[in-house]
Structures are given as C-alpha cells and as structure tokens.
C-alpha cells in the first residue's frame, strides 16, 4: 500500500545512518547566514532579466521563501494540541538520517523540532521505512509525516498537506568557464544540453528549448560525466542533487549553476509538505501557522543555510 510514494528528488545516495552523518558533515559544511536573500520571485522560470554573459561575481546565497507576508495564517486554538507524533524516514540524508548518537537527525527532523518549539507542544519523532509512512499515519501510529513527501494529486486523495516548505527546482549547470547569469531558449540556440532520458527535465527541454540540441543519458553519473568531458554545454536536472554534486568531491570543482531555478509545477511538482490524516484541520492549520512564524523570524533561513552551502535556488 505504501509503495511508490513520490519524492521530490533523489538528492543523495542511500547510505547507512552513521555513515550518512559522517558523509554529510564532510561534504556539506555549514555556511554563514550573512549573505542570505529570500527568493520571493522563485515562481519565475528564469533568473532576473539581464544579458546572457558569464558571471564574474558570486551570487548571494538564495533561500527559498514560500510564504507571502500579506497572507499571514490565523493562529489556531493551539491549546487543543497536547502532542504531535511526527513520523520520518530512516535514511535520506541530509533530510533524514540517524545521527552519531543514534537519534533522528537531518533537515526535516530539525524543522519538526522547531515547529514543536514554536507551537509550545510536546513532540515525538519516530523513524520508519519510507514505504510504511502512509500506512502508519492511516492506522493512527503517528500524526504528521515530515519526510520529503512530494505533494501530488494522488497523495492529496490520501492525506492532507501543510503549505509547502521546500521545492525541488530544476536548474542548468555548465562548466565554470561558461557560466551564464540567465538561461533562456534564445540564449542557448544550437547549444548541447544533456538530461536524463524519460525525466520531467527532458520533457521540459523538449517543450521549451526546441532550438537547443538535446542529448539524453541513462543516469546521473553519465549525465554529469558528459558535462565534465565537454560532450555537452549544459546539463539540466534536479537542482538539489546538482547542488550537492557541485559542492562535493565527485565534480572536481568543474562546474557551477547557470541561470536561476525553474519551478513550473506541471513539470517539477507542487513542492514538499507535511502530511496529516484527512480532515485533521487543526493540526494542518497549526503547522501552517508555525511554518510561517519560523520563516518570518528568520529561523527557517538559518536552518536552510546550515544544510545547503550551495543553494539549489
């Protein structure tokens, strides 16, 4: 029943819990929050207008903002909440993994703890296999799933979701000596662009970048190798996994993002939310209120920057 749950991205390889924590600590160092900017315009398909020329200065770290300050959620009756039993998964670093002390760790886990602190309610966080999460919440073994569960029409038929708290945008990557500030179809006419065969990213290129030369590859390894070798001018794919690759040792510091994020929901999904049982409006509203408050206070930004030293946005 739980098989085939949608993920926003296969951002990082599956590894054992303690090993995952060590790899994460090595590959994705902390960054300072001083250069953060809110990407309130992330709904646009490309970065801000400008000439298509190589970037000469590093852009400030971009932090996604999915909350409109003009649409502040009403504070629900939080006194009716006594405990929130969060469910997460066992091995999806850096979002969920087992820490060196044996306890749940990761971006989703830290966010759940911040939500509990904001609501001022007791919380538990239980780790389960990803494919068992929906069954667990349906049988009242938990109250909320915070495990990078992608919001889809099929999932909405089974659970209710909070507002999105992150997305998995698509982005272009080029070699460092050919970075473009903005990528538009007319800027890459005749250029060779690689994508994973059968992916939503390939479908988007076929629909929108019709004058580019599309090259399809069977997997991430082949796609990224093609860019390193110069077989293609750009690759186009999931920005979260590409951000980790750019900042990791496998890239050999060859490459960098070109242009801004693409977040069209038709191709790249509605985002990631916290799932609750159908009809549990009190908890859903409490989560929305807490998420907005965390963003408004800057705590969400601080959390994001701790985990993403190269922003996918």
pLDDT tens digits along 47-77: 333 333 333 344 445 566 678 888 889 999 9
What was the pLDDT predicted at 168? 86
Let me know: does 241 contact 220? Beta carbons within 8 Å: yes
Q: What is the residue extent of each domain of the chain?
A: 17-26+78-167+270-307, 169-268
Mean pLDDT lowest among 45-59, 239-253, 296-310: 45-59
Instruction: Give the mean model confidence (pLDDT) for residues 282-288.
Output: 97
Residues 6+ apart with CB under 8 A from 197: 216, 217, 218
What was the pLDDT predicted at 309? 73
**pLDDT of 46 higher than 90:** no
**pLDDT of 36 higher than 60:** no
What was the pLDDT predicted at 111? 98
**Given this chain, do its domains 17-26+78-167+270-307 and 169-268 carry the same CATH topology?**
yes
Instruction: Give the mean model confidence (pLDDT) for residues 2-17.
Output: 46
Average pLDDT value over all residues in the chain: 83
Residues 6+ apart with CB under 8 A from 269: 6, 8, 150, 151, 152, 167, 168
Class of domain 17-26+78-167+270-307: alpha beta
How many other CB atoms are there within 10 angstroms of residue 182's CB atom?
Answer: 18
What was the pLDDT predicted at 167? 86
Q: Is the dihedral of CA 7, 9, 15, 17 positive or negative?
A: negative
What was the pLDDT predicted at 61? 57
**pLDDT of 43 higher than 60:** no
As a whole number of angstroms, the distance between CA 236 and CA 169 comes to 11
What was the pLDDT predicted at 78? 93
What was the pLDDT predicted at 313? 81
Residues 6+ apart with CB under 8 A from 82: 121, 122
Query: What is 169-268's CATH topology?
Result: D-Maltodextrin-Binding Protein; domain 2 (3.40.190)
210-235 tens-digit pLDDT: 999 999 999 999 999 999 999 999 99
How many other CB atoms are there within 10 angstroms of residue 67's CB atom?
Answer: 22
Residue 94: asked if its preceding bond is cis (omega within 30°), the reply is yes
Instruction: Give the mean model confidence (pLDDT) for residues 159-184.
Output: 95
76-124 tens-digit pLDDT: 999 999 999 999 999 888 899 999 999 999 999 999 999 999 999 999 9
């Amino acid at each position: 029943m739980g098989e085939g749950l949608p993920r926003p991205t296969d951002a990082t390889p599956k590894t054992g819990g303690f090993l995952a924590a060590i790899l994460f600590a090595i590959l994705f160092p902390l960054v300072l929050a001083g250069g953060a900017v809110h990407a309130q315009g992330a709904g646009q398909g490309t970065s801000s207008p400008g000439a298509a020329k190589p970037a000469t200065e590093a852009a400030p770290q971009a932090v996604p903002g999915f909350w409109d300050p003009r649409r502040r959620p009403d504070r629900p009756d939080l006194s009716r909440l006594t405990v929130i039993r969060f469910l997460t998964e066992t091995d999806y670093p850096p979002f969920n993994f087992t820490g060196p002390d044996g306890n749940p760790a990761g971006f989703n886990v830290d966010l759940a703890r911040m939500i509990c602190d904001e609501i001022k309610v007791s919380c538990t966080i239980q780790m389960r296999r990803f494919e068992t999460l929906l069954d667990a919440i349906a049988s009242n073994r938990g109250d909320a799933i915070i495990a990078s569960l992608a919001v889809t029409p099929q999932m909405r038929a089974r659970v209710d979701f909070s507002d999105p708290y992150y997305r998995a945008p698509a982005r272009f990557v080029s070699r460092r000596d050919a970075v473009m500030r903005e990528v538009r179809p007319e800027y890459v006419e005749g250029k060779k662009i690689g994508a994973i065969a059968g992916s939503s990213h390939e479908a988007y290129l076929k629909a929108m970048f019709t004058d580019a030369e599309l090259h399809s590859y069977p997997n991430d390894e082949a796609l990224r190798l093609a860019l390193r070798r110069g077989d293609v001018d750009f690759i186009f794919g999931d920005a979260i996994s590409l951000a980790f690759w750019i900042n990791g040792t496998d890239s050999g510091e060859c490459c960098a993002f070109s242009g801004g994020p693409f977040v069209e929901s038709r191709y790249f999904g509605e985002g990631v939310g916290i799932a609750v049982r159908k009809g549990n409006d009190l908890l859903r509203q409490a989560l929305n209120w807490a998420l907005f408050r965390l963003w408004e206070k800057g705590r969400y930004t601080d959390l994001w920057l701790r985990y993403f030293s190269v922003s996918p946005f």
